[in-house]
Chain A
Amino acid sequence: MKARYIASWASAVAVATALTMGSAAVAEDDTIKIGVPVGLSGANSVVAPSVVQAGELAVAEINEAGGLLGRKLELVVADDGSGAQGAQKAFDSLVFQKEVDVLISMETSAARNAGLPIVNRGKVPFIYTSFYEGRSCSPWLYVNAWVPEQQVAPIVDHFMGKLGSKTFFLVGSDYAFGRGMLEFTRSYIADNGGEVLGEEYLPMDGTDWTAIISKLKSANPDALITSTAGGAPNVTLTKQLRAAGIDIPYGNLAVDEGTARNMGADAAGIYISASYITGIDSAENQGFLKAMAAHFGDELKTPNDLSVPQYEGVYLYKLAVEKAGTTDSQAVIDALDEVAFMGPRGRIQMNKQRHAPLTMYLGQVTAEGGVDVIASFKDVDPGEQCPNL
């Protein structure tokens, strides 16, 4: 008995020792480190490579132009597993092990929320580059992507104005983004004199929309707006809507250009609203696309509404550091809302309660899988996000 028990404890000690030796100290060097916690695995793994590429391009461009304060930039990527547990590890690793100077990343809301306490403890500036449901506030957080206030208006305005829709049906996945978006959509429609005939949710991993589609058909609305979780729920809903022969105007708040393309014929006719579409006709965007193609060649992942803000986020950080003259966290945070960057999406300045007014584009997916820009809305205000900051 004793032998067995000593063996047990001894192996525990051995494991602890092995762990100790595994964690060698990180060498001190002179680069400015940009931490990118991102979903290399899990739900976000589809889009994460394009996000990393956009960040890499910005870093390469800045380094080629002489770096920042005479120092080179370095991108440190960590997998957050697209969830809270993975994000804690990723943020811990970046903040405490790699000791990055700033965090710039696109993440799920759960991952962002899981990372924020670590950011607060480590006192590192954090530029969040993913659209989200809004109202995430921390002294260390800036956001350069859209919130419901910015995304919903273009679709609803177009449906009610140009298409004459009066009645709406809303469908979403039961999670923070889905509920947040549709909550705002409902009140926006009501404020503009429209009527919401129904608002239905399916669990986040739900894929059987049968009953909801039947309800939708019997409600017979003029238009449909959906906000599901990305990936499977979005695709299944679209497929099942099409299979049921529903052809009313369909605005999808959760689909991006790339996914729409992947869905093929089922996606044709869907309206999307985004701050970035590859077809934006500006010198900055054309230059950006060319640079991406030149830098990555065959490996290129198509830039999108989640990767472009990452590119711009790196530049916004660069401008803030230059303005502050230091990488000191507090000084950078103070400078971040004073700098503006002309990027592929236009002029970005995060000066509205830590959020940025954005030019929004209304697009419609074509049968060939492209996206036609139907209208653009300049500098849409993010509204009241963090009134206390």
Chain B
Amino acid sequence: MAEQAQGSSVGRAGTAGGRRSDIRSVLLGAGLAVVVLAVAPFVLDTYTVNILIRALLLAALALTVDILWGYTGILTFGQSAFFGIGAYACALIFTHAGFGAGWALAALAIGVLSAMAVGALVGWLAFYHGASPLYASIVTLALPIVLTQVVFAGGRFTGSSSGLSGFPTYYWSIEIWFWIAGGFLVLVTGLAWLFVRSDMGRVLIAIRENETRCAYLGIPVPRIKILLMAAAGGIGSIAGFGYAAFTNVVAPELTGFLLGTELLIWVALGGRGTLIGPVIGAMGIDLTSSYLSGSLPFYWKLLVGIAFVAVIVALPQGLMPIVTNLWRRLFAGSRRGRETITLAGVSSRSARERADRPLVVHGVERHFGSLNVLQGIDFEANEGELLSLVGPNGAGKTTLIRCLADGFERSGGEVTIFGQALGRWPPDRCVALGIGRKFQAANVFATLTVAECLRVARYRLERPSPWAREMVLRLPEAALRIVEETGLAAALDTEARHLSHGQKQALELAMVLALEPRIVLLDEPTAGLTRVERERIGSILTSLTERERLSILLVEHDLDFVREISSRVIVLHQGKIVLDGSVQEVIESDLVREIYAGSAQPGEEGPA
């Protein structure tokens, strides 16, 4: 991919491009934490250190919950299962197989690998194109329930309800265990920090904000979630391994669903999506309960329950943001230290002349129960063509667009993209064929900045780094033009939710064009835009077809707009194509006039 550095008009002078990561600040923070950790065992009494070792390990587990739930939006009840797997791997191997450095490494490896395998299996079950987030939660709920039962049924081997204890382990001094647990937590927190603040971390937030948009940007959401689940499982398993090795005890409750829900409580109270909040939440609550629950066991749980509900209802972001806001108000003025993003152009993949037509639609049908929304749709689209789909409300235009970009949508027929039959491909694979789809309502990632939204859209072409941020945003010329002409270039670090309606529409269009698609599906891209904005978009679209030979399929109500820019028009009515011809033919057609007058084929009702 040849890059052509383009003197961008927006990049502030003096800003070097390249990648940037938080590694220095993370090292600084980790150093600070290490100092605290190094001193703590000598300042604190043995009891507190003991409690803290366990709390540190549980905090690492809570961190994985935060990555999954706080950042990616996967509400998981099952993270305790992975903790349990690691703990039981340690206990079972030390009890039944043997003890020593070799066995310890083997047990750790077995624990991590089995946890990752289970995580992947759960991921495969829970995450697929079209899965509901509720279903994923239910599967993560079932996991610890099933696993606990397996432990119970294990008899002497797993120790059943009594658990296993007294197996040989390393009887290191309590300080050493404290440093191991603390070091592990600092390491995991530091890596997690780099990860969530990297470009890949932005993709996680994008998935949380709008999974559908992600899929249509060619991001393999299920695969990312499965990998994340497996990785979180692996980390949870290491924490569990440490827990068992230190305490010398495993019990079924370590794998249980109650621990899974406690983790959520800690993360929610601390502040989801903040990493540090959950760590403090986990350690704080675990430690406080160690001191308080002895004297008032039932009231303590009641208080935690009330605090949890109150936070979920009134402070969904938890307590951490309050602390950070206060800090900011007291010590720092700026909201977010600004990093200057430089825009750069990149030449689109060469418009190779391909033998096959971009789009061939043959016999496509769509039924909802007994309702036929589309029947027998046949048409082709050519390179350099701007094809408008028109028709009254309910004619099936949007349904047809859906069938072109998601293999699961149609009930019959076939769609062929550059000679490749679509089959049952999910949207992210359709994107790989060269399809880009813009939704009817503006569909952007509300809490990401404009630059981040565009970066996420480049996922498929420029794999985001999992630990750093790219300072140069490379966009194909068409996307760059939109960004520069609609004022988005000056708002690169504005969160998308603060944009005007027109800017959101423009941003989404820019995101779609950032995919460097060969076929662009646009569902009313000009709805709600001002006349000026509309004309600008129109000229961009025509230049895309003329200069870059893209095929554009446009669903549009505004017939004037259609007339101005279309090279061909298809008229849909009651799920069928009634006319496919030039703008002139459509304008002159009596049939079309009748349809829009609502008088065609009286007595029949169009699909709702």
Contacts and interface: CB of A to CB of B under 8 A. Distances in A.
Pick from B45, B159, B160, B291 the residue with the most CB of A within 10 Å.
B160
Contact of A2 (B193, B284, B337): B337
B599 to A, nearest CB: 62
Given A109-B161, A117-B166, 13 more contacts: A2-B337, A9-B32, A11-B324, A25-B45, A81-B293, A85-B54, A85-B251, A96-B46, A108-B161, A112-B162, A117-B249, A179-B155, A204-B152
Interface in B300-329: 301, 320, 323-324, 327-328
A90 B155 CA distance: 26
Given A97-B46, A114-B251, A176-B160, A121 B171 contact: yes
A16 B40 contact: yes
Given A41-B298, A79-B293, A97-B46, A113 B323 contact: no
Interface of B: 22, 25, 29, 32-33, 36, 40, 43-48, 50-52, 54, 149, 152-153, 155, 159-166, 171, 193, 247-254, 259, 274-276, 279-280, 283-284, 287, 290-291, 293-294, 297-298, 301, 320, 323-324, 327-328, 331-332, 334, 336-337, 339
A282 interface: no
26 contacts: A1-B337, A2-B332, A5-B193, A7-B327, A9-B33, A9-B276, A16-B36, A23-B45, A40-B297, A41-B298, A81-B297, A84-B163, A84-B254, A85-B253, A85-B259, A89-B290, A92-B47, A93-B47, A97-B46, A108-B161, A113-B162, A113-B166, A114-B247, A120-B166, A175-B152, A177-B162
Interface string A1-23: 11111111111110110011011
A23 B47 CA distance: 9
A171 interface: no
A5 B51 contact: no
Contacts of B161: 108-110, 175-177, 204, 229
A15 B279 CA distance: 11
Nearest to A111: B251
Contacts of B251: 83-85, 110, 113-114
Q: Which A-B residue pairs are the 6 nearest by beta carbons? A: A84-B251, A175-B161, A97-B47, A7-B327, A3-B332, A41-B297
A19 B152 contact: no
A368 B276 CA distance: 59
A78 B152 contact: no
Interface of A: 1-13, 15-16, 19-20, 22-23, 25, 40-41, 45, 77-79, 81, 83-86, 88-90, 92-93, 96-97, 108-110, 112-114, 116-117, 120-121, 133, 138, 174-177, 179, 203-204, 229
Contacts of B298: 41
Contacts of A203: 149, 152
Main secondary structure of the interface of A (DSSP, over half): helix
Given A12-B279, A19-B287, A110 B294 contact: no
Nearest to B155: A179
Contacts, number: 174
A3 B159 CA distance: 49
B387 to A, nearest CB: 46
Nearest to B339: A1
B604 to A, nearest CB: 55
Contact of B291 (A4, A22, A45, A86): A22
B356 to A, nearest CB: 48
B543 to A, nearest CB: 38
Pick from B33, B155, B249, B339 the residue with the most CB of A within 10 Å.
B249
Nearest to A90: B294
B20 to A, nearest CB: 10
Contacts of A12: 33, 36, 276, 279-280
A294 B250 CA distance: 43
A276 B175 CA distance: 46
Main secondary structure of the interface of B (DSSP, over half): helix
Contacts of A138: 166
A20 B247 CA distance: 22
B249 A113 contact: yes
B581 to A, nearest CB: 56
A143 to B, nearest CB: 14
Contacts of A79: 293-294, 297
Pick from A7, A41, A79 the residue with the most CB of B within 10 Å.
A7
Nearest to A113: B165
A110 B252 contact: yes
A175 B29 CA distance: 46
A18 B540 CA distance: 60
